[in-house]
Amino acid sequence: MSILAKDDGRPAGAGVLLPRQHLLTCAHVVNSALGKDMLAPDHPGSVTVSVRIHGPEHTVEADAELTAWIPPRRDDGGLGAFEWNGDLAVLRLAGALPSAFEPPRWHPMARRQFVRAWHGSGEPGVFADAEVSECDGRFGYFDGAERTLDIEPAYSGGPLWSSEESAVVGLVTAKLRVRGELRRAWGIPWQRVARELRHAGVDHLLPRPEEDVRDHPLYGELTALLDGPLSLSEGWVRCCRAVARQCGLDHRADGAPTADEFARLLLTRGRALPALVEAVRPTSEPIADDLLALGRRHGLPKLLTPGEYERLLRLLRALPPAWAAGVPGAVRAALSLAALPSALLAGFGGEGHGDGGPFEALIAHLEGLYGDSAPTDDGRPAVPALLRAVEFVAAGCCPTAAERAELWVWSAAVARRLGVHDAALRDRRHDAGQWARGASRSTAPPRVVAKLSSCGSAPVPDGEERYLLRLWCDDGEGLRQVSDDSERPRSAEEAAREILDAVGSLRRPDPAGPRFVIELVVDRDALEVPADSWKPAGAGALLPLPLGAPYPLVVNCPELRELNGEAMLDQWRERWARLDSEEPVHIDDATAPDPEAVCGLLMERLTAHVTVDVAAHRRAGVVQMCLAAGVPVVLWDRSGQPGSPAVRHAAGTRARELPEAIRRYRTKTLQRRADYPGRPVLAWADAGRALPRLDLVDPTE
């Protein structure tokens, strides 16, 4: 790992990975990276440094914040001219690392250990070998071997690795600059590192004492299996190296580890056993099956190899936020009988989902669940819960066929490694497809349909606008008219009261299901009637809630859809059918500066979801063009605020979740008007739900 200097980005030193996204290095390396005097003892403050972490297959660059400072101390007494105490710093990474980056084991430093140190550049060939010549628990001295590189300042803070112990035994600190040919340096042994971290209050980052793996119930069976015919085969060294590479470990150049050493690795590295199964499967299927059976029987928790895990995480992180928001529903549908904590299924689809945090927790939980069916008659294992969940995510949460195919390829490869029968996986894929098709035709929520029209030029005694209102209810058994006296003008408050009364008469099939929806059927000139802000009139209206706060409120304008005849109605139906598969289109003054450009965006593909953020004088025209083109879901902001705050807030929300998302925004406006100044309008035209027949009245009557 490299600690980079702020001024030129060159390596100032090295470091070691600790648990929980933390890093350990020397304090003087941090000083050097910040351009300060190397042995300055004063705390640098709240600072971050750039780091470069080198993994087995790729490198990660990130910022790390200083969280613990143990300054260099020359005044502790009893120190030689070239020694000092302290000199440690703990840094914390801003985000999680891929699973292949695991903290190393630690072991006490002792005389005659052969150690290797790496240059801060992280280049694999720039290492120095040495032998520990003296160690008193506070300081460790090591002398460079012949025909090896000399330890220089950029090695500081890096690990001293002992191949014999397969562990880090200390940190490189300084080179002794004395006359003579001896190449001597000194470092901080693990014994003092542990003491210093405890005194600094960060002992929670110290690794727990390792249990003797020989007491593990699986140890005996593993060593017997690893000491059998497999270890004598020609491909055994290749298998060992493949496992080491996947786990980010070095491997011997002179052969393979013993059965005892390999058993220790398999029992202490969570993904080493799956990696060994992957390496063994092509040449020895029975032994691969035996390894899997041992892991299942003893409850080893990790299902995926490091490579499989990283690829799955990469594919899930690539899902657009609007589609990632559907992952919890897909997982629940896939594993309806599994215990899935609600906290585990939170945080998907938001702005920060790209860091992978929610996906990492979900994968970790699903890896520990059993398969969803019994093993097949020929002894093949069941389809694991994780693979079933991935099949449902592929079917319901991928915006393109290519992304769905990538998850299918991943799932099939893992199933082959696990020995799952192809037919069993195909069954789960069929189940997922049926669920996804059913979800796209999911039962719509109960609704109240309100046909709202202005009284036009009729005299208004108090100066307030009056409306004609007709109401229908639809609780799943079809539309039924519930209003009378449809020719009587109502004020906005009276109309709101009648609509809420109609909602109160509805039967809610599922109390835990979606809220009732209020659907206003309006003509083209009434698309921005502020009905969502109307408050009900009457003595019983104790809560001053506007109509759009307790229930989702949408508008529907069949007049515009019907302008261009049956051709556009067909487009409307086809667009609605693509609501879950087509990406939304955003129209603003830059992307569509004129009507022709708007038409081009609308006709480029059968878009079902459009957001509009244009200048106020263009807004009505652009919205009406969208609706006339048959776009079923259109969101805009009537507030006139620059940047359309309501549209910006809803960015990334899946189309089917917009009615509820807009309702929540309206409630936030009640609480913090300055923070939520937008006035969203959502046009919603479900092609699968009938509208009432609107009998026309003779205009002469």
Nearest to 606 by CA among 579, 624, 587, 588: 579
Q: In this predicted structure, what is the pLDDT of residue 701?
A: 39
When pLDDT is averaged across residues 50-64 and rounded to a whole number, the result is 82
Which residues, listed in sequence order, are joined to residue 447 by a DSSP beta bridge?
A: 474, 517
Strands (E), 243-293: none
| More confident position, 357 or 390 | 390
Residue percentage of the chain with pLDDT more than 90 = 22
DSSP type of residue 674: T
pLDDT tens, position by position, 263-275: 777 777 778 888 8
Q: Quick check: pTM over 0.75?
A: no
Q: Please state, in angstroms and rounded to a whole number, the distance separating the CA atoms of residues 534 and 691.
A: 23
Nearest to 174 by CA among 39, 68, 70: 39
Give the tokens for residue 431.
């189940």
Give the tokens for residue 163.
């191949």
Give the tokens for residue 3.
């600690």
Residue 381's pLDDT band (boundaries 50, 70, 90)? confident
Q: What is the dihedral of CA 614, 620, 626, 628, to 10 degrees?
A: -160
Judge whether 185 and 142 are in contact, CB under 8 Å.
yes
Q: Please state, in angstroms and rounded to a whole number, the distance separating the CA atoms of residues 483 and 492.
A: 16
Reply yes or no on whether the pLDDT at 698 is more than 60. Answer: no
Residue 188's pLDDT band (boundaries 50, 70, 90)? very high
Reply yes or no on whether the pLDDT at 406 is more than 90. Answer: yes
Reply yes or no on whether the pLDDT at 466 is more than 80. Answer: yes
Q: Please state, in angstroms and rounded to a whole number, the distance separating the CA atoms of residues 555 and 406.
A: 39
When pLDDT is averaged across residues 55-60 and rounded to a whole number, the result is 72
Reply yes or no on whether the pLDDT at 12 is more than 80. Answer: yes
When pLDDT is averaged across residues 611-624 and rounded to a whole number, the result is 92
Residue 539's pLDDT band (boundaries 50, 70, 90)? very low
Q: In this predicted structure, what is the pLDDT of residue 104?
A: 85
Helices 236-246 and 272-280: crossing angle, nearest 10°?
Answer: 140
Reply yes or no on whether the pLDDT at 485 is more than 90. Answer: no
481, amino acid identity? Q
Residue 553's pLDDT band (boundaries 50, 70, 90)? very high
Name the range with the highest mean pLDDT among 251-260, 360-369, 630-639: 630-639
Q: In this predicted structure, what is the pLDDT of residue 631?
A: 94
When pLDDT is averaged across residues 29-48 and rounded to a whole number, the result is 90
Q: Choose the weakest-confidence range: 326-335, 363-372, 405-414.
A: 363-372
Q: In this predicted structure, what is the pLDDT of residue 501?
A: 85
pLDDT tens, position by position, 431-444: 998 888 766 555 56
Reply yes or no on whether the pLDDT at 56 is more than 70. Answer: no
Residues counted in the chain: 701
Residue 411's pLDDT band (boundaries 50, 70, 90)? very high
Residue 357's pLDDT band (boundaries 50, 70, 90)? low
When pLDDT is averaged across residues 631-638 and rounded to a whole number, the result is 94
When pLDDT is averaged across residues 189-197 and rounded to a whole number, the result is 91
Reply yes or no on whether the pLDDT at 572 is more than 50. Answer: yes
Name the range with the highest mean pLDDT among 136-150, 458-472, 618-632: 618-632
Name the range with the highest mean pLDDT among 337-341, 658-662, 685-689: 658-662
| More confident position, 234 or 641 | 641
Instruction: Tell me how crowded residue 300 is: count the other CB atoms within 10 A of its CB.
Output: 20
Q: In this predicted structure, what is the pLDDT of residue 445?
A: 80
Residue 612's pLDDT band (boundaries 50, 70, 90)? very high
Q: In this predicted structure, what is the pLDDT of residue 353?
A: 46
Residue percentage of the chain with pLDDT more than 70 = 82
Nearest to 15 by CA among 271, 188, 132, 201: 188
What is the average pLDDT value for the chain, to the nearest integer?
A: 81
pLDDT tens, position by position, 239-256: 888 887 777 666 656 567
Q: In this predicted structure, what is the pLDDT of residue 681?
A: 95
Q: In this predicted structure, what is the pLDDT of residue 233?
A: 66
When pLDDT is averaged across residues 197-206 and rounded to a whole number, the result is 83
Name the range with the highest mean pLDDT among 106-110, 408-412, 493-497, 650-654: 408-412
Reply yes or no on whether the pLDDT at 458 is more than 60. Answer: no
When pLDDT is averaged across residues 209-216 and rounded to a whole number, the result is 61
Distances (CA, A) of 360 to 248, 312, 568, 631: 19, 10, 45, 37
Residue 699's pLDDT band (boundaries 50, 70, 90)? very low
When pLDDT is averaged across residues 38-51 and rounded to a whole number, the result is 89
Residue 136's pLDDT band (boundaries 50, 70, 90)? confident
Reply yes or no on whether the pLDDT at 81 is more than 70. Answer: no
Nearest 5 degrees, angle CA 132-CA 133-CA 136?
Answer: 90
Residue 324's pLDDT band (boundaries 50, 70, 90)? confident
Q: Please state, in angstroms and rounded to a whole number, the distance separating the CA atoms of residues 314 and 98.
A: 10
